[in-house]
Chain A
Amino acid sequence: MYFRLTMVRTCKISTVTKSGSIQLHNLVKTPLYEALNGRYKSGMLQVVQDVNWNANTAPSYSSEHLTSTLNSTRSLPMTKFPKQEIIERVKSDTKVGQWRKFLTSWFRIGLFLLKSYKTGIQDTLKVYWDTRSVERRIDIKNGALAKLMREIEMNEINIKLSSSLSPKKESVRVASEPFSINRKELVELIRRDQIWKLPVFFTLVFIFEEISALIFIFFPRVCPYNCLTPGGYKKLSNIYIQATTGANANCGLGPLEFSKEGTIKYEPPYSLSTENLHGFLKNFPQSMVSSWKLCIYKKLKLQKLLCNEVEKIYQYLLIDDWLLLQGILKTDSETIKIVLSDKELVNCILERKLYLMGDDLNEMVSDTLGQKILLKRLFLYWSLRYNDTISFNGKHMFSEKWGVNNISLLKYNPEFIITNDI
């Protein structure tokens, strides 16, 4: 789509772009990785717990505003369950007699759980209520994600055209309209369907009260996403990675396939079998299709419909990546601090499957080293996908780098993700 489609008959430029083989140490040297890492090291990008700023009250182009349009913490589960802290508090409480310390601490833990469920239910309802107008504008279930992708593509074309018109002034860019959706709105649109889990969830909590936590650890899918405890979340993440990266084959890792031998290649939905597609869609943390629909598709072998749904997830991941990177690397906010919530970081890693079986992401994000590891994984993934794209630091458009003409030319070398040092 170079030159905004005027290429018919006249364009002689080939769409094939040059890209050498990429290894892990090369990825670390890429300008995009360096830029991201530089931001993190200089403190411009921070991972913080409990970010809860209001976008409406904060002035635009302030750190608070950017953060609140980037994160949606209310729709994500907690990363740390303060079990030990509650027990310690009860131990040090002199008003509680020694004989009932054990019972009181467990009672308080149960109480905390019920409170968190209450907040979770309230937040799920709030997310559903707040996203009504956005949903009317952007109907993600009926092709709106593809339109957003086209918007990104057009944005890239604008930059390309403006830079080709004035090659010397790199900073001069065409005044483009703001993107039609911010990240918070996008992710909440995806997560708003969690409301349909509320009736079953509410009934279970009503019947079993504190014991319901145990049920949700074993059956995490029954629980709305933001009511999950770290234990349930770990179970969910393990099911997801196990089901989609089985012993025999990797069935769809975002749009990339990481094989056992260590090669990485583009994985279009049409190359997957119906079972794998169904497995991927069923286990995706915030699936956009109901499971009965998926079951019918699988039974009737409607591969095209399953592929369409997987394609929507790929599109969502791309738009999400783009919005996050735009938020972090925005050129006109050199001095503004960007805060990424720890919940969002964990969720990004989970959705992109940048972890191994058995990793406890919530535990990792709670200490600095683990946080660094998770961030490094995310940065590497982004540099693999978006380095040298015109939106961030390069010359090529994303569709030129990863488009149908060129994906076969990309040749990535092993090591990534599988390597132990990440």
Chain B
Amino acid sequence: MQRFVSMLVSKRRTPTKFQEIFPKKRTINRILFQLDTRLTYREMYPIFVQISQSSTEEKIPWKKKYPYIKSSDLIQMRNVLITLRMQNKFVHKNLLAMEDKLLNFAAELGNNDAISILSFNAIQQHDKGNAKYYDQNDVETADRFIKELYARNHHLTIKLIGDFFLKNKAESKAEKYYKEFLKLESNTKLAGEVYGKLGEIQIKQVNGFLRAEKSWLECIRLLELERSSRWYFLLAKLYLSSEPLRAKPLLEKCASIGFKESFKTLGFIELNYFQNYERAKEWFKIGLEIMDLECFLGFFDCCLKLKDTSSARNCLESLKKLESNNNQRAIINTFLESRKESMKLLEKA
């Protein structure tokens, strides 16, 4: 017993704050399985603790303390945190700071992915005018690094160059780099992301919708739903007028992870096209909670079809309250005008 107590005392205790913010072992293990990481939870956890306690400037003797670690493991740990953030749709300040720290440490250990990401961060911050974070020397160094990495055909660098051009609205150049990336790597999650962005460029070209459709289909095949919801929605929008039957399941997928814009579209498809009023009402109900105006309009129609007069009256009252908003007044007035007869019937009922 004495020995056990002494062990407890001698064991270095992790700060309570870190324990509070870090998710349970089971959650992390699930993500590790998804990402197929090299390290196990047992090997990773002490490193997370170490990083949470150390500052960025502090030199950690990685080789001595954790002889099993590689620079790519730190990037994988960062990916764990990113996945966690995406799944929870919640950003914790400390975990975000830890992501940065992991990136810095990975770069120190010579990881090309980390160097590439940091270099692009430096350039982007400089372009934005945040000179206080990165001075001119940093930018020059970043520029040199990117050129060297590109010469070595580093995949992530090529993708980031594409992203950079896309952000600066040089779409033809971005497309060129994305295509270059896809020649090197076409069956990974990163490629899925590239397919999604490529599709967005292609849809802007004249008659490029067929190519965009192909890219987005590939994108949603490769990427998990949390990361590809945007492209699910865009694909659904592409199908919406011509093939609502194909658009519906895509929108439902978006709605399953709470994609805001999908509720009203789903509601209208169910109401006007498939004429399943009950289901449409449920979708609109979710939309009402996020104060979507068009969901109010749809909900009112659904209530009338289902002869639910009390809900229709309540909806109408809320709608009239919303009228004070100048942007929405025109739409509300048009709607009320077109529903005059139904409103009269509602008053009589």
Using a CB–CB cutoff of 8 Å, the interface residues on chain A facing chain B are: 1, 4-6, 8-9, 12, 14-16, 18, 143, 146-147, 149-151, 153-154, 158, 174-177, 266, 268, 270-271, 304, 307-308, 311, 315, 398-399, 403-405, 407-409, 411
Beyond A5-B238, A404-B273, A405-B265: 13 further Cβ-contacts under 8 Å?
A: A1-B237, A16-B294, A16-B331, A16-B335, A146-B242, A153-B241, A268-B275, A270-B273, A311-B245, A398-B241, A403-B241, A408-B272, A409-B334
Measured CA separation A315–B234 after assembly (Å): 21
Q: Which residues of B contact A146 (CB under 8 A)?
A: 239, 242-243
Instruction: Please state if A1 and B241 are interface contacts (CB–CB under 8 Å).
Output: yes
Closest 6 pairs between A and B when the two form their complex, measured CB to CB: A399-B241, A149-B242, A146-B242, A404-B268, A146-B243, A271-B275
Q: Which residues of B contact A147 (CB under 8 A)?
A: 210, 242
B204 at the interface (CB under 8 A from A): yes
Measured CA separation A399–B338 after assembly (Å): 20
Q: Which residues of B contact A153 (CB under 8 A)?
A: 241-242
**B333 to A: closest C-beta gap in Å:** 9
Q: Which residues of B contact A307 (CB under 8 A)?
A: 245
B203 at the interface (CB under 8 A from A): yes
Return the contact of B234 from the options A5, A150, A398 (Cβ within 8 A).
Answer: A5
B51 at the interface (CB under 8 A from A): no
**B26 to A: closest C-beta gap in Å:** 33
**A290 to B: closest C-beta gap in Å:** 22
B41 at the interface (CB under 8 A from A): no
**Given A153-B241, A153-B242 in contact, is the A407-B272 Cβ separation under 8 Å?**
yes
A-B contact count (CB 8 A): 97
B117 at the interface (CB under 8 A from A): no
Return the contact of A409 from the options B238, B265, B335 (Cβ within 8 A).
Answer: B335
Instruction: Please state if B240 and A14 are interface contacts (CB–CB under 8 Å).
Output: no
Measured CA separation A6–B238 after assembly (Å): 12
**Given A5-B234, A15-B294, A146-B243 in contact, is the A268-B273 Cβ separation under 8 Å?**
yes
Q: Which residues of B contact A408 (CB under 8 A)?
A: 271-272, 301
**Given A268-B273, A409-B334 in contact, is the A404-B265 Cβ separation under 8 Å?**
yes
Measured CA separation A268–B241 after assembly (Å): 12
**B217 to A: closest C-beta gap in Å:** 13
**B242 to A: closest C-beta gap in Å:** 4
Using a CB–CB cutoff of 8 Å, the interface residues on chain B facing chain A are: 200, 203-204, 206-207, 209-210, 230, 233-234, 237-245, 260-261, 264-265, 268-269, 271-275, 293-294, 297, 301, 327, 330-331, 334-335, 338
Instruction: Please state if A308 and B245 are interface contacts (CB–CB under 8 Å).
Output: yes
**A165 to B: closest C-beta gap in Å:** 13
Closest to A175 in B: B206
Q: Which residues of B contact A407 (CB under 8 A)?
A: 272
Q: Which residues of A contact B233 (CB under 8 A)?
A: 8
Closest to B330 in A: A18
Instruction: Please state if A404 and B240 are interface contacts (CB–CB under 8 Å).
Output: yes
**A297 to B: closest C-beta gap in Å:** 16
Instruction: Please state if A14 and B293 are interface contacts (CB–CB under 8 Å).
Output: yes
Measured CA separation A409–B338 after assembly (Å): 7
**Given A16-B335, A404-B272 in contact, is the A154-B241 Cβ separation under 8 Å?**
no
Q: Which residues of A contact B243 (CB under 8 A)?
A: 143, 146, 311
**B265 to A: closest C-beta gap in Å:** 7
Instruction: Please state if A399 and B206 are interface contacts (CB–CB under 8 Å).
Output: no
**Given A14-B293, A14-B331 in contact, is the A150-B275 Cβ separation under 8 Å?**
no
Instruction: Please state if B242 and A150 are interface contacts (CB–CB under 8 Å).
Output: yes
**A146 to B: closest C-beta gap in Å:** 4
Q: Which residues of B contact A5 (CB under 8 A)?
A: 200, 203, 234, 237-238
Measured CA separation A408–B342 after assembly (Å): 13
Instruction: Please state if A151 and B335 are interface contacts (CB–CB under 8 Å).
Output: no
What are 20 A-B residue pairs whose CB atoms fall within 8 Å in the complex? A5-B200, A5-B203, A5-B237, A5-B238, A6-B200, A9-B260, A14-B293, A149-B241, A150-B209, A150-B238, A176-B206, A177-B207, A308-B245, A399-B241, A403-B241, A404-B265, A404-B272, A407-B272, A408-B271, A409-B334
**Given A5-B237, A14-B331, A405-B294 in contact, is the A154-B275 Cβ separation under 8 Å?**
no
**A11 to B: closest C-beta gap in Å:** 9
Measured CA separation A414–B109 after assembly (Å): 77
Measured CA separation A154–B204 after assembly (Å): 9
Measured CA separation A268–B275 after assembly (Å): 9
**B341 to A: closest C-beta gap in Å:** 9
Return the contact of B294 from the options A9, A14, A271, A315 (Cβ within 8 A).
Answer: A14
**Given A5-B238, A176-B206, A405-B294 in contact, is the A411-B338 Cβ separation under 8 Å?**
yes
Closest to B266 in A: A404
Measured CA separation A408–B271 after assembly (Å): 9
**Residue of B210, B260, B293 contacting most chain A CB atoms (<10 Å):** B210
Instruction: Please state if B238 and A1 are interface contacts (CB–CB under 8 Å).
Output: yes
Q: Which residues of B contact A176 (CB under 8 A)?
A: 206-207
Measured CA separation A404–B276 after assembly (Å): 13
Instruction: Please state if B242 and A268 are interface contacts (CB–CB under 8 Å).
Output: no
Measured CA separation A271–B276 after assembly (Å): 9
Q: Which residues of A contact B334 (CB under 8 A)?
A: 16, 18, 409
Q: Which residues of B contact A311 (CB under 8 A)?
A: 243, 245
Q: Which residues of A contact B238 (CB under 8 A)?
A: 1, 5, 150
